[in-house]
């Protein structure tokens, strides 16, 4: 099963960093937040990633093109350019990097990934949110309910997509209201390939018509996550996540190899 990650937005509220790198490449410790997200998925055996690029996508491409060298000791034979790696610190991930357009909306980016998703069920999340969601339980929940989409519902402060839930079915999906409580869209989706037909074009916002329509059609389930979740929207968010990382035991990173922390 492939894991798609939306990594193409402008991140304007993090301009201190995103003038130089795209938001998913803003670091926590020595690693981009994108790496932290991928480590979480890999801990549950999901190591085949499809990343939707847009703004400064070349930075993400360069990072993964040079990932092995960045994470390993190596020798270079300058007579022929041959490289010999001396350790096995690299991960066993397959990463497909797809340019989904600088101006595409979130739905448009997902739609552009269609040819890379293999016509099968896939996982999807945003490139700026960290959580300790149990992905095995999320998938089992999705399979039990048999709907086109499952969204992970979380309870942070407002300004995200609010979910009205009846039993385990989403009956209303409202994007980013001003609110102080209730369940909101935390990302960490499971999607069936037929859901891609709900997305019209590059201008489609995933959190608007596609998910609103899925809710109206009774095809959107909510997996309630009461554990840790935090979205990196602002410098304050990034500094908060950095402080948690520096404790040596950040709440999202139970599955991360401690030897890679720093």
**Is pLDDT above 60 for 260?**
no
Q: What tokens appear for 206 in the block?
A: 């995933």
- Strands, E assignment, 90-175: 94-99, 122-126, 129-131, 149-154, 162-166, 169-174
Task: Map tokens 């270079």 to a residue.
Answer: 76
* Averaged pLDDT of the chain: 89
DSSP strands (E only) in the chain: 2-7, 27-28, 31-32, 48-53, 74-77, 82-85, 94-99, 122-126, 129-131, 149-154, 162-166, 169-174, 184-185, 189-191, 220-224, 229-231
**Confidence at 221, pLDDT banded by 50, 70, 90:** very high
In the prediction, which pLDDT does 172 show? 79
- Identify the burial level of 166 via C-beta atoms within 10 angstroms of its C-beta, where 0-12 means exposed, 13-18 middle and 19 or more buried: exposed
pTM: 0.87
The closest alpha carbon to 137, from 258, 5, 227, belongs to 227
| Mean pLDDT, range 223-248, rounded to an integer | 93
**Token pair recorded at residue 111:** 């739609």
44 in Cβ contact with 135 (< 8 Å): yes
What integer is the mean pLDDT of 8-31? Answer: 89
* The residue to which tokens 């610190």 are assigned: 89
Query: Residue range 18-44: average pLDDT?
Result: 94
Q: Which CATH architecture has domain 2-248?
A: Alpha-Beta Complex (3.90)
Task: List the domain boundaries for the chain.
Answer: 2-248
Compute the distance between CA of residue 78 and CA of residue 92 in angstroms, rounded to an integer.
28
What residues contact 1, with CB distance under 8 A and at least 6 apart?
A: 46, 48, 120, 121, 122, 123
pLDDT digits (tens, 9 = 90+) for 107-139: 999 999 999 999 999 999 999 999 999 999 999
Q: What percent of the chain has pLDDT over 90?
A: 71
Report the distance separating Cα 50 and Cα 150, nearest Å.
19
Between 46-50, 55-59, 178-182, the lowest mean confidence (pLDDT) is in: 178-182
C-alpha closest to that of 241 among 22, 71, 7, 36: 36
231 and 152 Cβ atoms separated by less than 8 Å: no
Expressed in angstroms, the distance from the first to the final Cα of the chain is 30
Of 64-78, 101-115, 119-133, 206-220, where does mean pLDDT reach its minimum?
Answer: 64-78
**Distance (Å, whole) CA 85 – CA 100:** 33
Rounded to an integer, the average pLDDT of 239-244 is 94
């Amino acid at each position: 099963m492939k894991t798609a990650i939306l990594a193409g937005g402008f991140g304007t509220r993090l301009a201190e960093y995103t003038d130089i790198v795209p938001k998913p490449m803003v670091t926590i410790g020595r690693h981009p937040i994108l790496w932290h997200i991928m480590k979480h998925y890999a801990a549950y055996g999901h190591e085949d990633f499809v990343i939707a690029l847009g703004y400064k996508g070349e930075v993400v491409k360069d990072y993964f093109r040079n990932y092995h060298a960045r994470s390993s000791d190596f020798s270079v034979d300058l007579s022929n350019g041959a490289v010999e790696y001396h350790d096995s610190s690299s991960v066993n991930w397959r990463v497909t990097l797809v340019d989904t357009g600088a101006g595409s909306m979130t739905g448009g980016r997902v739609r552009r990934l269609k040819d890379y998703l293999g016509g099968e069920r896939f996982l999807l999340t945003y490139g700026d949110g960290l959580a300790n969601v149990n992905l095995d339980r999320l998938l089992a929940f999705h399979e039990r309910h048999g709907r086109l989409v499952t969204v992970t519902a979380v309870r942070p402060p407002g300004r995200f997509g609010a979910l009205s839930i009846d039993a385990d079915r989403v009956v209303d999906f409202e994007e980013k209201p001003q609110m102080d409580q209730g369940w909101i869209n935390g990302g960490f989706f499971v999607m069936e390939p037929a859901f891609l037909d709900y997305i019209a074009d590059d201008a489609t916002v995933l959190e608007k018509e596609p998910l609103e329509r899925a809710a109206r059609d009774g095809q959107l389930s909510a997996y309630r996550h009461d554990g840790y979740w935090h979205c990196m929207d602002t410098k304050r968010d990034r500094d908060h996540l950095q402080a948690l990382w520096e404790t040596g035991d950040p709440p999202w990173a139970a599955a991360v190899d401690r030897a890679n922390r720093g």
